[in-house]
Chains A and B, each alone.
Chain A
Amino acid sequence: MEATAAEAARTNGRPPEEEARDQSNLVTRLVRGVASQLQRRIPAADLDERDPDYIRENLPAAWLLSSLYFRGEVRGLGNIPEDGPVLLVGNHSGGNVTPDTTVFTLAYCAYFGVERPFYQLAHNLVLSMPGLSFLRKYGTVAASPANAQKALSAGAALLVYPGGDWEVHRPTLDRNRVDFNRRKGFIRLALEHDVPLVPVVSIGGQETALFLSRGDRLARLFGLDRMFRLKVLPISLALPWGLNIGDMLGHIPLPAKITIEVLPPIYLREEFGPEPDLDEVYDHVTRLMQDTLDAMAAERRLPVLG
């Protein structure tokens, strides 16, 4: 009886259940506040922010990182149509530090020249992180249908990773698996703009840390999906943190060899008829990419070393 009285006194006479609900609401409001702050930080799509001179001046630094640290190898760039809009569809690896994007962007810009417009879609959170604003100068825009449409309408090449955060944080055991989580928005985009779809397959990124789990249940439990569009709360062993939960601050990637292969373009309406079935196209593209990834995995003799 004394304990109940003390409890009631501490909670200003309100029952403990009500107090717990208040605290829960407070946490929810706090998280929502942070989420809205972050959403506000996400820059509006402005394709003009891409700066060819900036990219050009930074090519040597990217070349050093790509050639010496990741021993990058990019094959088949000649498969990308010489001009006009094109949708490049890649499998994504490496957690929040994505070496495959660095290696591919360098190779693309060196091959076609920085003058050819090239944009990449990235998760909203990536662009709102402090210190990553330079990505916008490389042509990185927040992933949204509107931004994708703007880029393709401007006649640019657009790199998308349909697997997004789901694929990039897959466990290292599944490193040689293409996993778009049945996301088919990229097919709708290619059909809407009637642009060729070019698969870009990469290997090695998931060996830059030991990814243990996506933590998708944890993400659901904390409501990250609703608030930040995050389907995962990844758990990995990575430098310099050791146990790394969330990978929000990134990590130092191991120097895994990154190999990328660009496949021939797929002209959807030519190959699948005037009204292609999304499931059929999805299965075709992912199977093609998986077969290529299997072949690349067979070439690889040792993890990290390649």
Chain B
Amino acid sequence: MRVAESIEVSAPPEVVWKVISDPTRYLHFLSGFTRWEVVSDEPGGCGARYKMLMRVGSAEVGGLIEVVEWVPNRELAWTSITGIDQRGRWRLRERPRDDGTVCTWVELRLTAGVAGSGLFGWLAEQFAAPTVRGHLRRSLQQLKRQVEHEELRARAAARRRARAAASS
């Protein structure tokens, strides 16, 4: 099963990266995920390990994963160590807008399955794919809402600070 969903977030890539590179924030915006826990000494960077689980049908599937690609503001990829076979990837790309601002195109990919599971494995993937796709889509929408909301609050705070500085 290979599922990919994307969304455009009205914020620069650095702001989106701040959220997706912080594993403690994952459960606040990931939909259908029941666990995302740091199990390595380092919470981020290549080699960081997490225990993750996603509810699909009657089971919570996932396992231990390890970050294998960490390019700030651009790419974050992981692969499974235990549990089902999986590879996941965040891709961030800056997109200029006509009004001179920039936004970020965010893609979340997940490739998952069980090697050697034969016909039943293929069938299970076909039945599970719509659920996983729904989880990814909702996760991206929640990420967008969270990032844009924080961005708005940050801008408002900056304006307030500027006004306060001007009046004093």
Contacts and interface: CB of A to CB of B under 8 A. Distances in A.
Whether both chains belong to one complex is answered with yes
Interface stretch (A10-18, A59-67, A280-288): A59-67
Interface stretch (A106-114, A179-187, A205-213, A231-239): A106-114
Interface hub of B58, B61, B115 (most chain A Cβ within 10 A): B58
A57 B117 contact: yes
B58 A77 contact: no
Given A60-B124, A64-B127, A70 B58 contact: yes
Given A67-B127, A113-B64, A115-B82, A61 B117 contact: yes
Interface string B49-87: 000010011111111100000000000000000111000
Contacts of A73: 58
Interface string B78-105: 0000111000000000000000000000
Given A59-B84, A111-B53, A74 B114 contact: no
B91 to A, nearest CB: 28
Contacts of B59: 63, 66-67, 72, 74, 106-107, 110-111
Given A66-B58, A72-B58, A113-B83, A60 B63 contact: no
Contacts of B124: 60-61, 63-64
A56 interface: yes
A113 B51 CA distance: 11
A197 interface: no
B58 A113 contact: no
A110 B61 contact: yes
Nearest to A71: B58
B130 interface: no
A103 interface: yes
Interface in A21-70: 53, 56-61, 63-64, 66-68, 70
Contact of B114 (A57, A70, A71, A113): A57
Contacts, number: 74
A74 B84 contact: no
Contacts of A77: 60
A110 B60 CA distance: 6
Interface in A128-149: none
B134 interface: no
Contacts of B83: 110, 113
B117 A74 contact: no
A67 B58 contact: yes
Interface hub of A67, A77, A106, A110 (most chain B Cβ within 10 A): A110
Contacts of B58: 63, 66-67, 70-74, 103, 106-107
Interface string A85-125: 00000000000000000010011001101010000000000
Contacts of A68: 57, 127
Contacts of A63: 56-59, 124, 128
Given A59-B114, A106-B58, A107-B58, A113 B63 contact: yes
Contacts of B64: 113
Nearest to B60: A111
A264 B148 CA distance: 39
Interface of A: 53, 56-61, 63-64, 66-68, 70-74, 77, 103, 106-107, 110-111, 113, 115
17 contacts: A57-B117, A57-B118, A58-B117, A59-B114, A60-B121, A60-B125, A61-B117, A63-B56, A63-B124, A63-B128, A66-B57, A67-B127, A68-B127, A71-B58, A77-B60, A103-B58, A110-B60
**Which 4 A-B pairs have CB atoms at the shortest separation, nearest pair first?**
A67-B57, A72-B58, A60-B124, A61-B120
